[in-house]
Amino acid sequence: MTTTFSPTITGQSLIAGRPVEGSAGTARAINPATNEQLEPLITLIDGSELAEATAAAAAAFDTYRATTPVERAAFLERIADNIDALGSELTERAVLETGLPAGRIEGERARTVGQMRLFAAVVRQGDHVQARIDPALPDRAPLPRLDIRQRHIGLGPVAVFGASNFPLAFSTGGGDTASALAAGCPVIVKAHNAHPGTAELVGHAITRAVEDSGLPAGVFSLIFGAGTSVGQALVADPHIKAVGFTGSRGGGTAIMATAAARPEPIPVYAEMSSINPVFVFPGAILDDVDTLASGLVGSLTMGAGQFCTNPGLVFVPTGTQGDRLVAAASTALRATQGSTMLTRGIADACAAGVSKLRNEADVTVVAEGRPGPTENAPGAVLFSTTTDTFRDNLGLQEEVFGAAGIFIRYSSEDELLASAEALEGQLTATIHATSSDNTAIAPLLPVLERRVGRILFNSWPTGVEVGHAMVHGGPFPATSDSRSTSVGSLAIMRFQRPVSYQNIPDELLPAPLQEANPWKLNRRVDGTVVSVEESQ
């Protein structure tokens, strides 16, 4: 394990292991808590420098995808060790560039290295290869069957766009990078320009792991550039075979359009906008309404509301019980103080979204928190309206990226179901209820299954566990492909495709499909899963 690792932030891209000073202009990181510029100057690359990165990734692909499970897993674990070894330097830089507290950054670092190690375990275990064998049946009547075998391979070089709201877990060494590398795909990361120093430090950690693992340098590159030019050029580059993106709906759909317009269209796995509705049933309000209200406000304001799972809509019954929840939540919200948002641009966009809600007909403000003491730290806001207004006004489904939420008051189960049917695709939906509400909940569940990727019961959506059963995805516009997840071990499947081998001599077959099973994988033989123990 690496114990000391202190790279210098230079403001240069890392292209196939080599620091490159860009020739297409400069930028600076800005501390959002003070609006002060940070050193060093960041240099932005041009098209020729981008082409060097994508060509190196393409040249590295066949060698990298041929690595054994042990080799690839060890590489991912080296990355995790190196990110850990960056120590306080990484935390301090990320705090400066994002305005997030040190505790949040440390927690996110743990998640980042944890998911890298999770994918190392996935690769070492090997089920993602999905090896299938249909043995030859020469005596089958009326026609014999030839030997047919199948496995999944990596798609090729993957472009990953760093996210603004997770400078570690969804950025340079985040889940998209980890899952693509686990699938056997070289990665080119387009760093988010709001936290370039953080991105470069993690980029050095990955670059060193590439070198120490004896892999081709093109397995990883980190580039700085304008999203509208270099980012779009990266997606259009013929060497790129898939894209991972976390960001706005506008940015995601622009990338999707570019990817679809290529001579060879490629998949884009974009996580975009979600307002994550919460459905409160009467039983949940009968007892400890203050706990329910504080949980809601805590989830709404966590991280200044800059989570993609932030609960933006809360369906609450009309009448005395619902009024109690609205009043308790309002009291809790007024006691909150805003915290620094990630960038001035994000704070301005949040203010614009809140202003638009203030001006919507039949939408009222029920509570406001206090602004924070730093720059770009607006107070949280809660609004209220009716189900009729919600269904008639599509603007109420537009994501406000910040601590702003709307109570939707419903007077019947039919109104609630109609409102659920009117929802766009979401990452999550949350139900707060007791067993006394089960009859009313039953018809809602199939509606939510069609609308969201994760359904929660009596908890809050702003915690996303990185594991094997997690789905962080959902129908459009939550993501560009509802069949996938960007969190958890299933994320590896986004960057793989099946290849079938018919009647190939055993000595020419890839290792996962050879009779000797040298990688010791679980395999499906003639439709039956055969474990490693059973095959020995």
Residue 467: both structure tokens together: 């594991």
The 3-state DSSP class for residue 302 equals helix
By residue count, the chain amounts to 536
Residue 388 burial by Cβ neighbours in a 10 Å radius (0-12, 13-18, 19+) = middle
For the four alpha carbons of 89, 90, 95 and 100, in that order, the dihedral sign comes to negative
Dist CA 76 CA 191 (whole Å): 20
Element (H, E) at 305: none
Residues 76, 123 contacting (CB under 8 angstroms): yes
Dist CA 349 CA 206 (whole Å): 33
Distances (CA, A) of 89 to 57, 94, 107, 194, 503: 29, 9, 15, 17, 55
Active-site residue flag, 271: yes
Residues 322, 474 contacting (CB under 8 angstroms): no
Residues 126, 195 contacting (CB under 8 angstroms): no
Phi-psi label, residue 479: left if phi above 0, alpha if psi -120 to 50, beta otherwise: beta
Range 62-93 burial, b when 16+ CB lie within 10 A, else e: eebbebebeebbbbbbbbbbbbbbbeebbbeb
Distances (CA, A) of 103 to 114, 342, 408: 16, 16, 34
Nearest CA among 269, 315, 271 for reference residue 421: 315
Dist CA 153 CA 242 (whole Å): 13
Distances (CA, A) of 444 to 281, 347, 447, 473: 11, 35, 5, 19
Residues 207, 17 contacting (CB under 8 angstroms): yes
DSSP 412-438: SHHHHHHHHHT---EEEEEEE--GGGH
Beta pairing partners, 409: 316, 386
Q: Which of 77, 108, 308, 399 is catalytic?
A: 308
Of the CA atoms within 13 Å of residue 425, those in its CB half-sphere come to 18
Q: Which of 49, 52, 271, 399 is catalytic?
A: 271
Dist CA 159 CA 156 (whole Å): 10
Q: Report the catalytic residues.
A: 271, 308
